[in-house]
Amino acid sequence: MKEKNPERKTASETSKSQVRDQQDPAAKTSAAVDDPVVQESVSAPAPPGGKERRFRQTDLPEHFIERRRHPRISTEQPPPPAPPRLDDYAAIIGKPELDEIRFLARHLRGKTVKMVNSTAVGGGVAEILNRLIPLMNELEIPTRWDVITGGNDFYEVTKGFHNALHGGEYNLTQQIKDIFMSYNEQNRQRMEFADDLFVIHDPQPAGLVRSKSQTRGRWIWRCHIDLSNPHPGVWDFLKPMIEQYDASIFSAPAFTRQLNVPQYLFYPSIDPLSEKNKDLPEEFVNKVCDDFGIDRSRPVITQISRFDRLKDPVGVIEAYKLVKKYVDCQLVLAGGGATDDPEGAVVLQEVMDAAGDDPDVIILNLPPWSALEINALQRASTVIVQKSLKEGFGLTVTEGLWKEKPVVAGAVGGIPTQIIHKLTGVLVHSVEGCAYQIRYLLTHPEFAAQVGKNGREHAKENFLITVNLKRWLLLFQILLGMARPNETI
Amino acid sequence: MATAPQMPTTHPRWARSPFYFNSASHLLRISREKATNLQELVDALRTCGESSIFQHTFQTLEEHHFINKGFSNDFSHWAFAACNEVELAERLSAIDIREFTSIATLRERLVHIIETYLQKNPRAATRVAMEPFYLMASDLVVVPTPYVARNLEEFAEGIRRVSVHAIYYHFIDARLRLKLNNNDFSVWLELEMDMAQAADRLNRIDIYTSSLEGVRRNILKVVEAEIVRT
């Protein structure tokens, strides 16, 4: 593991003079006095939401209170690590699994794949492609990634479509349809379609399928969004395009629509070697806990999520308060979205108000490059909570499962696919249920350990990037007629 | 199991034909059928493709191979977790897929159990489940592995080295292919190694009270004991 740079700068929204004025020298910990990094950091941090929380008098050592008031949050984005090689996964999935992947790829060697989506950076699809495509190329399946282009009017339309497909209101006019089709047509004219397989991601470039009749390749539509309750007009507009593909792929059975093309299920996946999921040295986990004032001698309950009402962070605080009556524990609510999203800032303030003066509720508004810190927080947790009220697939649940933690999660979206109640985690439907299940897990460590162990195996079997890669190889073989179900290839 | 070249039979520990270890990868297809209550589930079970019955009974065991208790098949789990019909869940979980050598008879058994339950508990038929049941189907593709066994030692080594998917393929999935209450390993031990007793012991390993890794360990115990004995 590459150790995080201890010299990394920390936030500095509060001026040094202000912090000096606030500091009581007698209350400084010895670490703060001796450690220049700490000295720098205490001059820097900003409390979440920009408003300092006041903590009531407590027996908690002062250095924890100080860190909770001024967590050390990094302000510089580290350079991205090099993508892993396939062999790097052998230690995780085992050689037989890797052999199977290589065997499946052998027959596809030289077949070319073109992936098309609407953005090269940001968003889950780009993140997946950035990790998947190098692995396909390593397997000698030349895979290219093209991004469609468009003007602001196109992206306004596709954003509107995105919300409408999630069930939102939308006024679909002929002009909107024309904008969508004309940009798809421009991109279609610009792009070359000479590959064996075309994978078109999400609705934005769906119209490229008009080139299908002029190509020899197979066309796949990969839908990453939930179509369970789409705006009927928008869906009726898109459906004839989707039905021209040879196959479609969805992330959960509940997200699908009736289509006359085969629908395959590809669960979203996590990369066990990414910054957010790779193994971390215990010293690093301790350091992150120290940076954020987390006391590792007592149970830690953690929810990682944006500050968004649909993630129900206030409900998690209410559940924690019910647990706290019986078990001395801490709650960590860590996430982002409160800096660049006005609604996120409002929710963060609601969360801070709900936490009140309880020093054991630690609220961390982290920047987007905090993958290592989030990884460490999850690993330091005794119980992970993802109490969403509405959810897509819920990859933070997958991350918790992978880290062998007992996960308590709302029974919504793709979460029940990941959590088999009381076997790979615990599903809840209310604040009270959430509190009871957390209490039970905290007081029954053997059960919690077994659930965590099962959860990791479930993630390993179904939700890792290597499983996803294998699914792509199988689908390519089936669509190209190289493999027939129930026969040896 | 692939057709094999003839091997020398003079030494008692050489197999007449080698055992070729295969594995299986599967791809999930989303079916059209969906059930929001038990009556709809029965209706779907009557009409769905055989690959859907296979997915939710046989294949699901592989997908949840790490769970060594409390999980039997998807129908039982749904009856328990989404319909809160504990008695029905118990009855469905008691189905032992090893007794079935055809999907048609397994389908009949599932339908019979749910219908019988609904006759006694008619209100349960249309009570809306907390989560719908989405029927899936499985496309299984068989993948050869480099492991071949010509004697017990090589057989034990293969068992140790292959993935759990290979164990599943030969030990559980085999029943439908063979149309026998048996598995590839036992068939090979009996027919190619003349070890009927070991084959029988191996066939009696319980897949419902053990994970697939546990099954692998139990198979190894039987094979290693046989190596010592011979």
Give Cα separations from A204 to A181, A235, A240 (angstroms): 10, 13, 14
**What pLDDT, on a 0 to 100 scale, did the predictor assign at position B126?**
97
The chain-wide mean pLDDT, for chain B, equals 90
Phi and psi angles of residue A258, each rounded to the nearest 5 degrees, phi first: -70, 125
Q: Which tokens belong to A450? A: 């077994």
Asked if A262 has any chain B CB less than 8 Å from its own CB, the reply is yes
**What pLDDT, on a 0 to 100 scale, did the predictor assign at position B72?**
87
Q: Per residue in A395-437, pLDDT tens?
A: 999 999 999 999 999 998 889 889 998 999 999 999 999 999 9
Q: Per residue in B121-134, pLDDT tens?
A: 999 999 999 989 99
Distance CA A247, CA A243 (A): 8
8 Å CB contact between A201 and A224: yes
Closest CA to A230 of A171, A169, A166, A176: A166
Asked if A449 has any chain B CB less than 8 Å from its own CB, the reply is no
Structure confidence at residue A50 as a pLDDT band (50, 70, 90): low
Structure confidence at residue B205 as a pLDDT band (50, 70, 90): very high
Chain B hits for A474, CB-CB cut-off 8 Å, are 25-27, 139, 141
DSSP-derived letter for residue A263 is: E
Q: Is the Cβ pair A485, B141 closer than 8 Å?
A: yes
**What pLDDT, on a 0 to 100 scale, did the predictor assign at position A5?**
41
Phi-psi region at A144: left, alpha or beta (left = phi > 0; alpha = psi -120 to 50) = beta
Going by C-beta distance under 8 Å and a sequence separation of 6 or more, which residues neighbour residue A147? A116, A117, A118, A119, A120
Q: Is the Cβ pair B139, A422 closer than 8 Å?
A: no
8 Å CB contact between A221 and A245: yes
As a whole number of Å, the end-to-end CA separation of chain B is 25
ipTM of the complex as predicted: 0.86
**What pLDDT, on a 0 to 100 scale, did the predictor assign at position B61?**
85
**What pLDDT, on a 0 to 100 scale, did the predictor assign at position A98?**
94
DSSP-derived letter for residue A44 is: S
Distance CA B81, CA A424 (A): 13
Asked if A470 has any chain B CB less than 8 Å from its own CB, the reply is yes
Beta strands in chain B (DSSP E): 14-35, 133-151
Length in residues, chain A: 489
**What pLDDT, on a 0 to 100 scale, did the predictor assign at position A487?**
66
8 Å CB contact between A442 and A383: yes
Determine which of B20, B23, B26, B27 to mutate to test the interface with A (most A C-beta atoms within 10 Å).
B27
Is the per-residue pLDDT at B223 higher than 50?
yes
3-state secondary structure labels for all residues of B41-76: HHHHHHHCCHHHHHHHHHHHHHHCCCCCCCCCCHHH
> Other C-beta atoms within 10 Å of A121: how many?
8
Q: Is the Cβ pair B146, A256 closer than 8 Å?
A: no
Chain A to chain B, count of Cβ pairs less than 8 Å apart? 103
Considering chain B, what percentage of its residues have pLDDT values greater than 90? 68
Going by C-beta distance under 8 Å and a sequence separation of 6 or more, which residues neighbour residue A451? A406, A407, A422, A423, A424, A425, A426, A441
8 Å CB contact between A199 and A116: yes
Q: Whole-prediction pTM value?
A: 0.85
Distance CA A308, CA A463 (A): 25
DSSP-derived letter for residue B221 is: H
Q: Is the Cβ pair B63, A462 closer than 8 Å?
A: yes
Q: Is the Cβ pair B142, A454 closer than 8 Å?
A: no
Greater confidence, A29 or B227? B227
Q: Which tokens belong to A235? A: 């869906």
Strands across the sheet containing A330-335 = A361-365, A330-335, A300-304, A383-386, A407-410, A426-428
Instruction: Give B27 to chain A, closest Cα distance, Å.
Output: 6
Q: Per residue in B4-26, pLDDT tens?
A: 555 544 445 899 999 999 999 88
The continuous run of DSSP H or E covering A248 comes out as: strand A247-250
Q: Which tokens belong to B82? A: 């989404």
Distance CA A77, CA B17 (A): 61
Identity of the highest mean pLDDT range in A19-23, A36-40, A442-446: A442-446
Is the per-residue pLDDT at A151 higher than 90?
yes
**What pLDDT, on a 0 to 100 scale, did the predictor assign at position A126?**
86
Structure confidence at residue A441 as a pLDDT band (50, 70, 90): very high
Determine which of A89, A93, A100 to mutate to test the interface with B (most B C-beta atoms within 10 Å).
A100
Give Cα separations from A277 to A291, A400, A449 (angstroms): 20, 9, 19
The continuous run of DSSP H or E covering A264 comes out as: strand A263-265
Q: Per residue in A462-473, pLDDT tens?
A: 999 999 999 999
Q: Per residue in A300-353, pLDDT tens?
A: 999 999 898 989 999 999 999 999 999 999 999 998 766 666 788 899 999 999
